Amino acid sequence: MDPYFPEHGDPRYRVHRYELALDYRPGPNRLSGTARINAIAGRAALGEFVLNLADLKVGRVRVDGRQPHYTHRGGRLRVRPAKPVRAGAAFTVEVQWSGNPRPVHSPWGGLGWEELEDGALVASQPIGAPSWYPCNDRPADKASYQISVTTPSAYAVVAGGRLLTRTTKASTTTWVYEQPAPTSSYLVGLSIGKYQTVLLGDPGLGGVPQHGHIPAQLLGDFSRDFARQPQMMDFFQELFGPYPFDEYAVVVTEEELDVPVEAQGLSLFGANHVDGSRGSERLVAHELAHQWFGNSVSIADWRHIWLNEGFAKYAEWLWSERSGGRSARQLAASAHRLLASLPQDLRLADPGRKSMFDDRLYERGGLVLHTVRCALGDAAFFRMLRAWAQLHRGGTVTTAAFAAHVARFAAEPVDELVRAWVQGAVLPPLPGPGADPAAGQWRS
């Protein structure tokens, strides 16, 4: 069980694939769906298992075609198959459900399915996925997805992955998306709205297809604010290795969002993040970097969230340095001064549920990467970073795994350095000027 969210996820089995068929009506906010879940039992026979599903009505459940006993209370669909599933055996679960989806409650407000004035979007981190589909809701259980959504034809449907088909029949259109890469449940993104679709840059031979889905009235500002995303993509591939998915999509809603939301192969921004003057470009970089760090390379449980956010924060600093803004050294110094003025009671390696989205975690996480860069030198640091992304592509990681990985690229021991930054609460000093990377010397 995840130590921060013990009611979410069931480690007794793992899911290989989800096939979701949804029908959504925006006016009444009415969702009905069928899920076909292909899973594999763990090391013990499976007499029962749990799926997470919020306050929606369950109409039918089948396990390998047979009716099980099940209960649905408190966001947990507890299923007892008619015959226990053998240890290590594959099995299939089918669930039908319907209702008016709404966000699940959390310390950070509502999470998951959010009804908009004219459409809907999904922002699930960390526990919002059960607001709209049944899942084994833990970040380490990654699966492939096929998502089919039928909705009135005036609306576009955007999901992470490749659009397989779009079929119009009478007044509705069915959109079918495929995401073959292993995906955590909270990273399954979806947006339903009235958008114009634009191509960002020219993917060319072997390039990454990038599309924007934007309300018509925001198209002009969007074209300026996201103009440098193709260069950003090239730059991050240079530093981190090949983009880990088939495509990348950006959606801008007509409404404001507190922060952008990353999903696998997809990022969601609010209208407030589009101003025509690149005022949120650091966030564009942050969300794109999550495709490598957080989405492809995922955390084993929520204690390790700094491995998502610290890496994305440092990517912001690297992009600033490359694009003519402040250098990573300057941004690190500024972050260190800020953290030195704040309470020093947060441990990156286990911040606690209340502090897992604390701004200090993001900034200190970025400082870890900068400190490691200073210790290793640019050549070894960026080899380390690329190897981290490639070795763990599609998998899960921990803080201990990162520390061991860094050590393999260090000419001298760095265990105590890394331990001070990720295990200790007191803010260590920033490396001195002599250890700072030289501007312009780190490009691979």
Q: Which of 247, 287, 316, 321 is catalytic?
A: 287
Total residue length of the chain: 444
Q: Which residues contact 176 (CB under 8 A, 6 or more apart)?
A: 146, 147, 148, 163, 164, 165, 166, 167
Does residue 315 fall inside a structural domain?
yes
Q: Write phi, then psi, for 360 (nearest 5 degrees).
A: -65, -30
Q: Is residue 130 part of a domain?
A: yes
Task: Tell me if residue 186 is catalytic.
Answer: no
Task: Tell whether 430 and 305 lie within a shared domain.
Answer: yes
Assigned domain for 440 exists: no
Q: Is residue 442 part of a domain?
A: no
Residues 148 and 205 in one domain: no
Domain count for the chain: 3
Q: Is residue 185 part of a domain?
A: yes
Residue 201's pLDDT is 82
User: What spatial distance separates the first Cα and last Cα of the chain, rounded to whole Å?
Assistant: 40
Q: How many CB atoms lie within 10 A of CB 66?
A: 9
Helix (H) / strand (E) containing 282: helix 281-289
State CA 187 to chain mean position distance: 4
- How confident is the model at residue 204, as a pLDDT? 74
Evaluate whether residue 156 is within a structural domain.
yes
* Residue 164, domain CATH: 2.60.40.1730
CA atoms within 13 A on the CB side of 144: 11
Nearest to 436 by CA among 358, 394, 388, 381: 381
The answer on 132 and 48 residing in a single domain is: yes
Binding annotation for Zn(2+): 286, 290, 309
Verify that 177 and 267 share a domain, yes or no: no
Q: Is 362 a known active-site residue?
A: yes
Contact 299, 397 (CB under 8 A): yes
Low-confidence stretches of the chain (pLDDT < 70) are 205, 432-444
Residues 306, 9: contact at Cβ < 8 Å? no
Q: Are residues 40 and 163 in the same domain?
A: yes
The pLDDT value given to residue 433: 56
Residues 422, 123, 359, 303, Cα dihedral to 10°: -20
Q: Choose one of 168, 190, 212: the last residue of a domain.
A: 190
How confident is the model at residue 1, as a pLDDT? 79
d(CA 157, CA 371): 42
Q: Which residues are annotated as a binding site?
A: 286, 290, 309
DSSP reduced 3-state for 321:
helix
> Are 178 and 205 contained in the same domain?
no
Residue 443 lies in a domain: no
Domain boundary among 264, 291, 318: 291
Cα separation of 32 and 40, whole Å?
A: 26
Residue 180 tokens, joined: 């073959």
Rg (CA), the chain: 22
Whether the predicted model's global pTM rises above the 0.85 cut: yes
Structural domain for 285, as ranges: 195-291
pLDDT in tens, 27-63: 999 999 999 999 999 999 999 999 999 999 999 999 9
Residues 286 and 314 in one domain: no
Pair 36, 181 in one domain: yes
The reply to whether 441 falls in a domain is no
Q: Does a cis peptide bond (omega within 30 degrees of 0) precede residue 68?
A: no
* Contact between 28 and 100 (Cβ < 8 Å): yes
The pLDDT of residue 435: 45
For residues 77 and 72, give the distance between their C-alpha atoms in angstroms, rounded to a whole number.
Answer: 4
Q: Cβ(266)–Cβ(162) under 8 Å?
A: no
Residues 171 and 268 reside in one and the same domain: no
Q: Which is the catalytic residue, given 18, 145, 314, 362?
A: 362
Q: Domain containing 375 — which CATH number?
A: 1.10.390.10
* Structure tokens, 45: 């026979």
Domain boundary (246, 261, 291) is at: 291
177 lies in the same domain as 71: yes
Q: What are the tens digits of pLDDT across the range 183-195?
A: 999 999 999 999 9
Assess whether 61 and 179 both reside in one domain: yes
Contact (Cβ atoms closer than 8 angstroms) between residue 51 and residue 101: no
Residues 160 and 62 grouped into a single domain: yes
Per-residue b or e along 155-176, where b marks 16 or more CB atoms closer than 10 Å to that residue's CB:
bbbbbbbeeeeeeeeeebbbbb
**What CATH number does the domain containing 240 carry?**
3.30.2010.30
